[in-house]
């Protein structure tokens, strides 16, 4: 069952010659985590804002939870929760105040809101700072408060725009656990992220957007299989010139070392040769970030919408 369906969705901002979204179509099924990946300016945030009824499309259609996002925004807003990328905490309020306010504004009874607030603060390690003025919190703690305001809700569909940005690895995984729990409850999560490990760990399905268009879509595994012959990557840190690595596969220079995308046999051969030379080497499966860079190419000046 679809909870979100976009057909031919296009958005052109006033004064722009290029569309932020360009005839984009996708579907999101109930009870899954769906991730949007793309460079800055690809159109991810624009899509979320249209789906969340914050922004009108230029053309095309989009339905959310069975309601038309243009004609029936009030019905959608009752049933969704949204964490925008640019969200900020409010100066006089504490973490507890923020979460309680979010829940009470949705109509949740006080006792249930207090219970949920306490639980999400415990999980995201905000309890000790529960009654601290938010202006005194670190950037990472403020981000946890913003995310907590969304994941504490009972919304059928959650939109989170880069929810783990600025979080340390421990708290990133705590957010992952909560999003997985939400999915297990039969609810749906749509998020954007720049962290490829996050997309691989969480996503049932994902879409890569580039210049307002979907350029790849499917499960993380099916998207990785777009490079069918290159199943392994070998990281080589020294003892080799780039030309020596070319026979083993596709060579990518990364931060002072080489990454070779190749098949399993050549990966073993290269690893053995590297060890024989005393080189630092590691081997593993091709990851989603390899596919992402391969699909979207080298950075340019970014999209028109900047989001």
pTM given for the model: 0.87
40, part of any domain? yes
CATH number at residue 172: 3.40.50.300
Neighbours of 4 (CB within 10 A): 24
Dump pLDDT digits (tens) for 99-109. 999 999 999 99
C-alpha distance across the termini of the chain, in Å: 29
Q: How far apart are CA 30 and CA 14, in angstroms?
A: 34
Identify any residues that bridge with 21 across adjacent strands, giving them in sequence order: 11
Mean pLDDT of the chain: 93
Same domain? For 47 and 187 the reply is yes
Q: How far apart are CA 70 and CA 24, in angstroms?
A: 16
Q: What is the pLDDT of residue 225?
A: 81
Same domain? For 236 and 215 the reply is no
- The pLDDT of 147-159, averaged and rounded, is 97
180, part of any domain? yes
Q: What is the pLDDT of residue 157?
A: 98
Same domain? For 186 and 89 the reply is yes
Domain tally, the chain: 2
Q: What is the pLDDT of residue 277?
A: 95
227, part of any domain? no
Percent of the chain with pLDDT over 70: 95
Same domain? For 38 and 80 the reply is yes
Q: What is the pLDDT of residue 294?
A: 82
Site of tokens 């070998």: 234
The parent domain of residue 258 ranges over 232-285
pLDDT band for position 296 (50/70/90)?
Answer: confident
Residue 106 tokens, joined:
């949705």
Same domain? For 80 and 197 the reply is yes
Q: Are 254 and 245 in contact (CB under 8 A)?
A: no
Same domain? For 104 and 46 the reply is yes
Same domain? For 260 and 181 the reply is no
Q: What is the pLDDT of residue 228?
A: 64
Dump pLDDT digits (tens) for 36-73. 999 999 999 999 999 999 999 999 999 999 999 999 99
Q: What is the pLDDT of residue 4?
A: 98
Dump pLDDT digits (tens) for 209-246. 999 999 999 999 899 887 666 889 999 999 999 999 99
Q: How far apart are CA 292 and CA 156, in angstroms?
A: 30
Q: How far apart are CA 193 and CA 165, in angstroms?
A: 8
- The pLDDT of 278-288, averaged and rounded, is 92
238, part of any domain? yes
Same domain? For 204 and 60 the reply is yes
């Amino acid at each position: 069952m679809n909870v979100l369906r976009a057909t031919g969705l296009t958005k052109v901002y006033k004064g722009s010659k290029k569309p932020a979204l360009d005839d984009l179509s996708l579907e999101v099924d109930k009870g899954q985590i769906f991730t949007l990946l793309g460079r800055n300016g690809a159109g991810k945030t624009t899509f979320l804002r249209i789906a969340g009824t914050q922004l009108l499309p230029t053309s095309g259609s989009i339905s959310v939870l069975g309601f038309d996002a243009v004609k029936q925004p009030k019905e959608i807003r009752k049933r969704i929760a949204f964490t925008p990328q640019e969200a900020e905490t409010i100066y006089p309020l504490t973490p507890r105040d923020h979460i309680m306010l979010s829940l009470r504004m949705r109509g949740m009874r006080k006792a249930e809101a207090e219970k949920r607030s306490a639980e999400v603060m415990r999980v995201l390690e905000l309890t000790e700072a529960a009654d601290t003025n938010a202006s005194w919190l670190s950037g990472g703690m403020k981000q946890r408060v913003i995310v907590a305001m969304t994941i504490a809700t009972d919304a059928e569909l959650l939109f989170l725009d880069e929810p783990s940005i600025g979080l340390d690895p421990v708290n990133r995984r705590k957010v992952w656990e909560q999003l997985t729990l939400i999915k297990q409850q039969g609810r749906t999560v749509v998020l954007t992220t720049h962290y490829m490990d996050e997309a691989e760990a969480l996503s049932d399905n994902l879409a890569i957007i580039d210049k307002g268009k979907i350029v790849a879509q499917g499960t993380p595994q099916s998207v990785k299989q777009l490079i069918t012959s290159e199943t392994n990557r070998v990281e080589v840190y020294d003892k080799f010139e780039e030309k020596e690595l070319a026979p083993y596969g596709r060579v990518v220079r990364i931060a002072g070392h080489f990454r070779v995308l190749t098949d399993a046999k050549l990966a073993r051969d290269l690893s053995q040769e590297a060890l024989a030379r005393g080189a630092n080497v590691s081997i593993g499966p091709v990851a989603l970030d390899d596919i992402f860079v391969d699909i979207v190419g080298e950075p340019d000046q970014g999209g028109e919408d900047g989001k």
